[in-house]
Structure 1
């Protein structure tokens, strides 16, 4: 089966600093894949290339089997912070991506409003971002992202700024939403537990210049918080990922 997204040998340097050193990875339709690595490894640089912010220096990127080139608008991108505009009500923050695409504000509101209940935001349409909790703001940001109905979600450490308890709750919520909608998603994170909890597969990157150390499958049943046996299996996979990060020479290029 042709991958939804396929990167082969992608390279990037900024002046004399090499950031990506031949990154190869793929994401299949309806799959949740994570890119995990140390801070500064170039994870977010991959997203900048995919969304057209910068150009790769080499390698190939294909979406649905065709060269990506100018097709960056096929991605819906959610950044590390919610990026909600404080002067816009939540209903108008969630319609922003549609409005940028040229959808009239009234039509955009009509499209977004029925989703507020599913995203746990019913009754908060006319609130301002400052009136919402961190978790609610992130749900609003994800609603703004997915309502654009792009082919694929790019999630750049979306819960990194949240406290531990809120982050755990958001991870469970996101897994349930993904299971319901089967979005094709690529997540950047440095949180091993988050990657294992959410993903079907994990690509572990080295320090800069980044290369793929290890591709780790996550063959756990969903939902992921399914009792003691599920926790034991998740812990075993977390150990594999941590070993890849702590002992890269022993695991580079391997699959388990």
Structure 2
């Protein structure tokens, strides 16, 4: 085994003759927080569609724990861009939905979910409906629904993109603290440079159409990251912006 949880090797995908992904290779190690950074339309979400099996790649390989990924085994818990909470279900029943899909009874699923509501800042809101919660609370509920499935890896597709700037910053800090506590293995898709720097151990930058991995950057900042107003953080941000704004200049 290579030591990588996830490894993409030369992944390719096109739709209707339009090339979207070209030769995408990346790795994620156990307990690591890795981001895929790129502009809108760069193919970031297509990578997640391939990983979750909603679309099939045209070429390349996907390895998980050293073995080829099969359609029967998808070890990912996926959180989409919007919370996707069902408005007619109370928050506790939204939180159990992933377990119920796996065949767990609602009663057993509630027993598993109830003890961690406090950790997600949702204690006392179990019987509320999504419309009664703030945007940040809805995202925490969606993440609770994701992690309670106890999958090997979390796929987060711009989970805070719909939030206002202040709520988004608070959610980023909250996610960092939760990752520090649990050491989930996470792959995040984002177009927000500062978000990627704040959360990630490593960042893959996608550019071009079809999308390619322009570069891989290790973020040389210790966790937890309280303040990004440091020369070291600013240097990483500047480097990423330089790559995104000048994609033809190979690093």
TM-score by length of 1: 0.95
Query: Equivalent residues in 2 for 1:110-125 (5 A)?
Result: 110-125=111-126
Q: Distance in 1 between matches of 2:84 and 2:228?
A: 36
Query: Equivalent residues in 2 for 1:184-203 (5 A)?
Result: 184-203=185-204
Give the match for residue 28 of structure 2.
27
Query: Equivalent residues in 2 for 1:160-175 (5 A)?
Result: 160-175=161-176
Whether contact under 8 Å (2:228, 2:234) holds in the other structure is: no
Deviations 1:38-67 (A, max 9, x none): 111110000000000000000111000000
Q: Distance in 1 between matches of 2:72 and 2:170?
A: 34
Give the match for residue 209 of structure 1.
210
Q: Distance in 1 between matches of 2:167 and 2:23?
A: 36
Q: Please list every run of 5 or more consecutive structure 1 residues that lacks an aligned counterpart in the other structure.
A: none
CA positional deviation for 1:2: 2.0
Query: Equivalent residues in 2 for 1:175-186 (5 A)?
Result: 175-186=176-187
Give the secondary structure class of the aligned counterpart of 2:48: helix
Q: Please list every run of 5 or more consecutive structure 2 residues that lacks an aligned counterpart in the other structure.
A: none
The count of residues paired between Structure 1 and Structure 2 equals 250
CA 162–69 in structure 1, closer or farther in 2 if over 3 Å, else same: same
CA 22–248 in structure 1, closer or farther in 2 if over 3 Å, else same: same
CA positional deviation for 1:139: 0.1
Give the match for residue 92 of structure 1.
93
Q: Which moved more, 1:74-83 or 1:62-71?
A: 62-71
Structure 1 moving runs of 4+ over 3 Å = none
Q: Distance in 1 between matches of 2:177 and 2:73?
A: 27
Give the secondary structure class of the aligned counterpart of 2:61: strand
Deviations 1:117-167 (A, max 9, x none): 000000000000000000000000000000000000000000000000000
TM-score by length of 2: 0.97
CA positional deviation for 1:248: 1.6
Q: Distance in 2 between matches of 1:8 and 1:43?
A: 16
Q: Distance in 1 between matches of 2:38 and 2:171?
A: 21
Give the match for residue 218 of structure 1.
219
Query: Equivalent residues in 2 for 1:243-254 (5 A)?
Result: 243-251=242-250, 254=251
Q: Distance in 1 between matches of 2:228 and 2:49?
A: 38
CA 72–209 in structure 1, closer or farther in 2 if over 3 Å, else same: farther
Give the match for residue 241 of structure 2.
242
Deviations 1:145-192 (A, max 9, x none): 000000000000000000000000000000000000000000000000
Whether contact under 8 Å (1:10, 1:59) holds in the other structure is: yes
Whether contact under 8 Å (1:51, 1:72) holds in the other structure is: no
Deviations 1:185-239 (A, max 9, x none): 00000000000000000000013200000101012111111585xx321111011
CA positional deviation for 1:72: 4.7
Whether contact under 8 Å (2:76, 2:151) holds in the other structure is: yes
Give the match for residue 46 of structure 1.
47
CA 42–199 in structure 1, closer or farther in 2 if over 3 Å, else same: same
